[in-house]
Structures are given as structure tokens and as C-alpha cells.
Structure 1
Amino acid sequence: MSDAPRHDALIDALGAQLTPVRRLPPPWLRTLGWLAVVAAIAAVLLQRYGAHTMLHRWQAAPDLCLAAFGAVTTAITAALAAFALAVPGRSIRWALLPVPSAVLWISASGMGCLRAHIPGMAVLDMREANHCLMFIISFSIPLSGLLIWLLRRAYPLRPVLTAVIVGLASAAASASLLEICHNVDAAASDLVMHALAVAIVVVANMAMGGRLLTKA
């Protein structure tokens, strides 16, 4: 019993050195912050390219509008899933949140290979295909970096899975931004390039993002 005062003094001394931990905002609010950056980029692209070509493509081929909706929804739900997975104790089922919209995005994109060509719209050539590939990858790099930086403030217990979802969110957001300046009709080569770009982004995030999200 004589040691009790010394134990209490030690606990008080250790407690006095602790700094308060600021509670993180809820996942939906942090998602909105990331999406605000994506929206700002979209506003710059719209000011540069306008919306005429994008709206013309959507009006002439509703499947392209459906694919764009799927890409936007995938970006939103994947970002929300990543922020939710970064919170310890959250269910792994959050990873399934972007699956329905991703299926819509992929299936609607594939419909463009089956329908007739849009009159007056150019067909994708190799130069445009490389442009699509580089556009998605180039925009995914900063968007992934921002997401990973925001997620490191939490404590992801499944860093690799969270990084995969980060890659999906960034690639989907980049594909959505590409719609603004994409002036060609959908074709099999277009679908292949988009799929390749998304795969590269997801795998790169799985390899690098998983390490960055792992706490030392």
C-alpha cells in the first residue's frame, strides 16, 4: 500500500505529458473534402474545354452518359469506402460499396462496342488511346496521393485493401474528368485503354499505397 502514492504520481506525470488527440471528421465529411478537389479540377477543365462535346456524346449515345454516371458514382462510393475502412472496427463489407457502380461503369462502357458509330464523331486512334491512358494515370497520381495522405491520419488495419479502394476511387474520378475533354466515340480500343489505365492505377496503389498506409 505504501507504493500507491508513488504509482499515482507516476500516472499523473505520464498523463501530463500526453497531448490531446483531435478526433477525425466522419468518413462522409472527409469524402466531401476529397471530392471538392475533384470538382475544382472538373471546373477548370470545363472552363478550358466547355461542355458541348461531352453533352453531344451523351445525347447521341445514352450508354456513354450511363458509363459516366457509373464512373462518378464509383469515385464517390470508393472514396467513402476507403475512409470508412481506415477507421478501426469498421466492417470489411465497406469494400463492397463501390462494386455495383463499378459494374455499371464497366458494362455501360462495353455497350459502346456493340452499337452504331456516332455520326460526326471521330473514332479512337492510337494517339488518342495513349492520351486517354496518360490522362487517367496522370490525374490519378495526385488524387491517390491526396487520399493516402488523408487516410494516414487514421489507422487502416487493412492497408492493402484500403489502398486498392483508393486506386479505384482515383481512377474512376480521373475517368470522369476525361469525359469533359474526350471527343471520340467509344470503341473496343477505348475500353481496353480505360481498363488498362484503371488496372495500372489500382495495382500501383496496392503496391505503394499499402506500404504508405502501414503504420511503423
Structure 2
Amino acid sequence: MESLVRDLGVDLRPVRRLRSPLFRAAGWLSAAAAAAITFACFADIADIVHRLRYVPDMWLAVLGSTTTTVFGAIAVFQLSLPDRRAAWALLPLPGLALWIGGTGLGCLRAWTIPGTEVATIVEARICFTFIVSLSIPLSALMILMIRRAYPMHPSLTAVTGGLTVAAGSATLLNFFHPYDAGATDIAVHVVAIALVVGANRLVAGWLLEPPVIRRSM
């Protein structure tokens, strides 16, 4: 028996214990905050504050996307642990509802009030590129931070992560988005967010699967 135990343990390596989910979520959010500080150095902060102050639907949408990002990050790092329930995926949904509601109100305002400045299709394409491009490093960082945790629900974790990353990118876009929420702009944002969530579902969902399952695919 002793020899069997010795043989089984000969190739074992010490495993470093993961930090708490809240600590790791704070780490990822710190990276997003660092990006926000960098963007703020190049943005027209006075104009942003003015619009947030006098356009209620805008700050509602920003509050919603920011809340989705923060609570989504907490949910992802909770879901990344094998003993956590899938119900953690519900945590960012209230923020998502506020985000959608605020954006919808902005679209309604742009449609009913003359003189609002909405993005052209070319400008909307720039928004698409911004969201998708920024989501790549944010997604890569999140995958690196949760990969060792072996979640019991890898696909759900990946989808929640994609939503979190997309919400964070959309929030940071406000530094360079002086337009009202027109229908074209919203449609392009929805496509970009869906692409980010779908890509995370495919890539992160596969990477988070246990190695035995990945090899069998």
C-alpha cells in the first residue's frame, strides 16, 4: 500500500490556492478601470459630464452598463468555482435591464425630439470596432484569470463573461461617443455585443472545459 501511494504521488505538483472570487473580480475590474483612466486623459470630460447631467436616459444607460460590468465580473468569478450554483449568472441581469431601458429611452428621445445628433452608419461602424477590439484583451485577461478554477458550468460562465466584457467595452465607449441613441447605433451595438458574447461562448467555453472533455471534442 505504501508503495502504491508513493507511486501515485511521484508526479504530483503543489497547487497554488486561488484567491477569493471577489478578490479576483476586483483585479479584473481594476484592469478595466485602468483603461477608463487612460481614456479619460484623451476624452472631453466636461462634455461627458454635461450630457450625463442633462440627458437622464444617458446616465441611466451608463449606470446600467457599469452595473452589468461590476456584478457580471463578480458572477463570473463565482461561477468559475466548481462548488458555486448556476444562479450566480442572474446577478448582472438587473443592471442589464437598466442598461436596455436607458438605451431604449434614448432611442425614443432621438426619434421624437428634433435636433438630436445620432450616429451615421460610418460612425456606428467605429463604435462596433471599438467594442469588439477592446473586448479582445478584456476577454483574454478574464479567461486567464478563471481558467484554473474548473467551473461546473463552463458555457454559462463563458456567456456571463462575454456579457460582462461587452458591457465594460460599451461603458468605456462613452468616453468617445457624443451621439444620441439612434436606431442604427443601437442595432450596431447589439450586433457587436452579440458577437463578443458568442465568441466567448465558443472560445472561453471550450477552454474552460476539463482537458479530458476538450481532447474528446
Name the TM-score, length of structure 1 as normaliser.
0.91
1:187 matches 2:182 = yes
Listed as ranges, the matches of 1:146-161 within 5 Å are 146-161=141-156
Q: Of 19, 22, 25, which residue of structure 1 is paired with 2:19?
A: 25
After superposition, the CA RMSD in angstroms is 1.8
Q: CA deviation at 1:56?
A: 1.8
Partner of 1:79: 73
Q: 1:118 to 1:35 in 2, by over 3 A?
A: farther
Deviation at 1:59, TM superposition (A): 1.6
The partner residue of 1:202 within 193, 197, 200 is 197
Task: Provide the residue aligned with 2:97 in structure 1.
Answer: 103
Alignment of 1:19-98 (within 5 A): 19-98=13-92
Residues in 1 aligned to 2:75 and 2:190: alpha-carbon distance in whole angstroms: 21
Whether the 8 Å contact between 2:118 and 2:185 is mirrored in structure 1 is: no
Whether contact under 8 Å (1:60, 1:118) holds in the other structure is: no
Give 3-state SS (helix, strand or coil) of 1:106's partner. helix
- What is the match of residue 135 of structure 2? 140
Q: Could you tell me how far 1:156 is from its partner in structure 2?
A: 1.4
Q: Which structure has the bigger radius of gyration?
A: 1
Structure 2: gaps of 5 or more residues = 212-217
Local SS of the residue matching 2:39: helix
Letter in 2 for 1:132: C
In 2, Cα distance between equivalents of 1:183 and 1:8: 71
> What is the alpha-carbon distance in structure 2 between the residues aligned to residue 80 and residue 162 of structure 1?
11
Per-residue deviation, residues 108-137 of structure 1 (Å, max 9, x unmatched): 111011225889863211111001111111
1:57–1:118 CA distance, 2 compared to 1 (3 A): farther
Question: Which structure 1 segments of 5+ residues have no match?
Answer: 1-6
Amino acid at match of 1:70: G
Aligned length: 210
Deviation string for 1:10-66 (max 9, x for gaps)? 324544653221110111100000011101111110001141221122122111001
Q: Percent identity?
A: 46
**Aligned residue for 1:3?**
none
Offset from partner CA, 1:125-153 (integer Å, 9 cap, x none): 11110011111111011101110111111
Partners of 2:190 and 2:50 lie apart in 1 by 24
Distance 1:51 1:120 in 2: 23
Give the aligned residue type for 1:184: Y
